[in-house]
Amino acid sequence: MKWLPEYSCRVKAIDEDHQMLFNVVDQLNTCHLEGGTSYQIKTAIASLVRYVDEHFEREERFLRRVGYPHFAEHKQQHEEMQGLIRRLQEMYEAEPEQVDLSKVLIFLDKWLKSHILREDMRYVPYLSGKKPSGSPIEIGSAENPQRQVLNVAVLSDKVYLVNEFVDLVNGGGDVALAVEDAVHKLAERKFSSLWKKADQLFRK
């Protein structure tokens, strides 16, 4: 993957992260083209997982700091990508012969370039101060370390549902446990769908 000037977000730490991700994908591509060992390919995939996690965490920290208005949507895309890459790692460790590295590399090239040019470029004006940002998005409370203060984007007609959900969870008791159980079941369905998507993307 060739780094081009148009990929620059004009934030040194983020650009360095993106260039590192390009390098890791290139390492995986080299292993594939030169017939690298299973161990070498596993190492390259593990590096990809690690650098994706580190970069997303750093980038989200920047976005929370400026109160980026599309933070929730951006984070959701990060979480999906992290899920797909972790699934790739599991697939390769379990059945390396069933993973199509050509398909993996095409996906990574397309996703990274598209995400940078379309999604990451949306936050550049907020980080540079050209667009007004919101209040910093806090994820913890100094007054009560057991609680977290969240600032999330919600559809206007769903605000009442979020408020009801928070009240039910914070209320404790059997109702809170029932809500928690329902959320876990929905999360399982979500990950099951993500696993199927990964299989379609990466499996021979």
Higher-pLDDT residue of 47, 143: 47
CATH of the domain at 58: 1.20.120.50
Number of residues that make up the chain: 204
Query: In which domain, by residue range, is 39 found?
Result: 5-136
* 145 part of a folded domain: no
* 70 part of a folded domain: yes
* Token pair of 143 as six digits: 């007054």
Looking at residue 141, its pLDDT comes to: 46
* 35 part of a folded domain: yes
Q: Give the predicted TM-score (pTM) of the model.
A: 0.74
Mean pLDDT of 184-196: 72
* 188 part of a folded domain: no
* Token pair of 6 as six digits: 């148009």
* 77 part of a folded domain: yes
What whole-number distance in Å separates Cα of residue 152 and Cα of residue 139? 10
pLDDT tens track for 110-153: 999 999 999 999 999 999 887 766 655 554 444 555 666 666 66
Looking at residue 154, its pLDDT comes to: 62
* 183 part of a folded domain: no
- Percent of the chain at pLDDT > 90 equals 57
* 161 part of a folded domain: no
User: If you average pLDDT over every residue of the chain, what do you get?
Assistant: 86
- CA 30 from chain centre, in angstroms, equals 25
Count of domains observed in the chain: 1
